[in-house]
Amino acid sequence: MWKYLLEKEFKQFFRDPGLPRMALAFPVLMMLVFPFAVSMDIRNINLAAVDNCMSEESSRLIEKCTSSGYFRLVYHGQSADEAMRLMDNNKADAIITIMPGFDRETVSGSGFPVGIKVNTVNGTKGSLGSQYILQCVRSYVGEKNAASGTTVPPAADISEKYYFNPGMDYKLFMIPALIVIAITMITAFLPALNIVSEKEAGTIEQINVTPVSKTAFIACKMIPYWAIAFFILTACLIIAWAVFGYTSRGSVLWLYLFTILDIIVMAGLGLLISNYSSNAQQAMFVIWFFAVIFMLMSGIFTPIASMPQWAQYITYLNPMRYFADAMRAVYLKGSTPAELWYDVAGLAALGSVMVGAAVASYRKTE
């Protein structure tokens, strides 16, 4: 029985005028274009410098900032109002204000005469921007102290080092995440439309009147999505390697393993929604609703640790949290499923609930 049902699902998928093309084009386009766009490696922060000191020292500090590569100096002058106006018009993201007497006070020591204003409407840009300026100021002060030799040498040498991604390449960080998004979107949207379109076409009735088992029917609807997801994963990995030169640090096998687990959850959810929807549009809105929530609360774009506690509890129900975490860990750090046992457990638990619910909610007899 399985063989025939599977045959039907595959044939229907490939015969659809839009689906195969979309399932192919969506991930490929995403992988080719999005890595360039999803850069939070913020380099061009527009900096306005209000220099009320106009001394050699103050211009050295400003030069320190601009030479760091993170900033683009959009204003250098003495008018605080002008700088503020630039920020109001989104032309400046940060303002550094140097007080008169900057060159003297650093030496004499009564409060640091530099002020920083950061536009934080965009949180990431704001907090990174302020960190960058602070770094520049610190290193300026450090150099100055060392050069003048007026104070004792620093008590301890503090250095920084980064594992796994020494170049701090944000693109690399987003590659596994984009794979996760591509796979999850396709395998959530397609199943959600599947059963409900059979309902709308009336074909499900002819199936319901046969002795077909519920589990077989649901399972056969799910299996093609594994094939699709494997195809997407392979295509994405090849693009990542051929176009961007990235390869997985961990075994590719584990990537496929986690993909299987994720599909069980997502396809199960899609079919579950499909069962409860009376028309395709409803199913689409509901799955879109979940997909966007899953995506934004998965830790892909913003860290989960920064959410309030209640929201962090909600993310335990988010399959993408586990999937994204696992794919990143395997791809970037070479982790193994044993090390990521909690992701395996989370996906497996959610998966069994989803599939169980999908089978149970599929009613052959009303």
Partner 1 sequence: MNTEYAIRIRNLVKKFGDFTAVDNISFDVRRGEIFGFLGANGAGKTTAMRILCGLSRPTSGSGTVAGFDICREQEKIKKNIGYMSQKFSLYPDLTVRENIRLFGGIYGLKDRTIREKTEKMLEMLGIRDAGDRFAAELPLGWKQKLSFCIALIHSPQIIFLDEPTGGVDPETRRRFWESIYDTAGNGTTVFVTTHYMDEAEYCDRVSIMVDGRIDAMDSPAGLKKKFSAGNMDEVFRTVAGRAVREE
Partner 2 sequence: MKEFWASVKKEFLHIFRDRRTILIVMIMPVIQIILFGFAVSTEVNNARVAVCGDMSDPQIRRAVERMDENRYIEITEMISVPGEIDGLFRRNEADAAVCFSRDFGSRIPDGRASVRIIGDGSDPNTARMITSYISGVLQDAAADMEISISGERQASMTPVVQLMYNPAMKSSYNFVPGVMGLILMLICSMMTAVSIVREKETGTLELLLVSPVRPLWVILSKLIPYLLLSAFNFTTILLLAHYVMEVPVNGSLALLSLAAALFVIASLAIGLLVSVISSSQRTAMLICGMGLTMPTMIFSGIIFPCESMPLVLQWFSDIIPAKWFIILVKKIMIQGDGFGPVMKEMGILAGMAALLLAASIKSFRTRLQ
**Which residues of this protein are in contact with partner 1, per CB under 8 A?**
1, 3-5, 7-8, 11-12, 15-16, 201-203, 205-212, 364-366
Q: What's the distance, Cα to Cα, between the start and end of the chain in Å?
A: 23
- What gap in Å lies between CA 189 and CA 197, rounded to an integer? 12
Residues 324-363 that bind partner 2 (CB under 8 A): 325, 328-329, 332-336, 339-340
- What gap in Å lies between CA 239 and CA 235, rounded to an integer? 6
Residue 245 makes contact with partner 2 by CB under 8 A: no
Four-CA torsion 33, 34, 39, 43, nearest 10 degrees: 20
* In the complex, minimum distance from the CB of residue 241 to partner 2, in angstroms, rounded to a whole number: 18
Instruction: Say which entry of partner 2, partner 1, none residue 40 contacts (CB below 5 to 8 A, set by partner kind).
Output: partner 2
- What gap in Å lies between CA 335 and CA 326, rounded to an integer? 8
| Among the listed residues 156, 211, 242, 366, the single contact to partner 2 using CB under 8 A | 156
DSSP tag of 305: G
Binding mask 163-182 for partner 2 (x = CB under 8 A): xxxx-xxx-xx-------x-
Instruction: Say which entry of partner 1, partner 2, none residue 106 contacts (CB below 5 to 8 A, set by partner kind).
Output: partner 2
Residue 14 makes contact with partner 2 by CB under 8 A: no
CA-based nearest residue to 30, from 242, 174, 189, 209: 174
Residue type, 102: F
Binding mask 288-327 for partner 2 (x = CB under 8 A): xx-xxx-xxx---xxx-xxxx-xx--x----------x--
CA-based nearest residue to 267, from 313, 223, 231, 233: 223
Residue 222 near residue 271 (C-beta atoms within 8 A): yes
Closer of 125 and 214 to partner 1 (Cβ): 214
Residues 38-77 that bind partner 2 (CB under 8 A): 38-44, 46
CB under 8 Å to 224, separation ≥6 — which residues?
Answer: 6, 9, 10, 13
| Among the listed residues 14, 278, 317, 360, the single contact to partner 2 using CB under 8 A | 278
**Burial class for 8, CB neighbours closer than 10 Å (0-12, 13-18, 19+):** middle
CA-based nearest residue to 81, from 102, 58, 52: 52
* In the complex, minimum distance from the CB of residue 4 to partner 1, in angstroms, rounded to a whole number: 3
Instruction: Say which entry of partner 2, partner 1, none residue 118 contacts (CB below 5 to 8 A, set by partner kind).
Output: partner 2
| Among the listed residues 180, 267, 271, 287, the single contact to partner 2 using CB under 8 A | 287
Residue 189 near residue 22 (C-beta atoms within 8 A): no
Residue 361 near residue 274 (C-beta atoms within 8 A): no
Closer of 145 and 208 to partner 1 (Cβ): 208
Closer of 163 and 211 to partner 2 (Cβ): 163
| Among the listed residues 63, 82, 88, 143, the single contact to partner 2 using CB under 8 A | 88
List beta partners, residue 268: none
Residues 180-209 that bind partner 2 (CB under 8 A): 181, 185-186, 189-190, 193, 197
Closer of 76 and 364 to partner 1 (Cβ): 364
- What gap in Å lies between CA 94 and CA 118, rounded to an integer? 4
Q: Beta 71-77 vs 45-51: how paired, if at all? A: parallel
- What gap in Å lies between CA 51 and CA 103, rounded to an integer? 12
**Burial class for 163, CB neighbours closer than 10 Å (0-12, 13-18, 19+):** exposed
Instruction: Say which entry of partner 2, partner 1, none residue 211 contacts (CB below 5 to 8 A, set by partner kind).
Output: partner 1
* In the complex, minimum distance from the CB of residue 213 to partner 2, in angstroms, rounded to a whole number: 27
Residues 94-123 that bind partner 2 (CB under 8 A): 105-106, 108-112, 114-123
Instruction: Say which entry of partner 1, partner 2, none residue 197 contacts (CB below 5 to 8 A, set by partner kind).
Output: partner 2
| Among the listed residues 26, 226, 244, 256, the single contact to partner 2 using CB under 8 A | 26
* In the complex, minimum distance from the CB of residue 3 to partner 2, in angstroms, rounded to a whole number: 26
Tokens representing residue 126 in the block: 């704001």
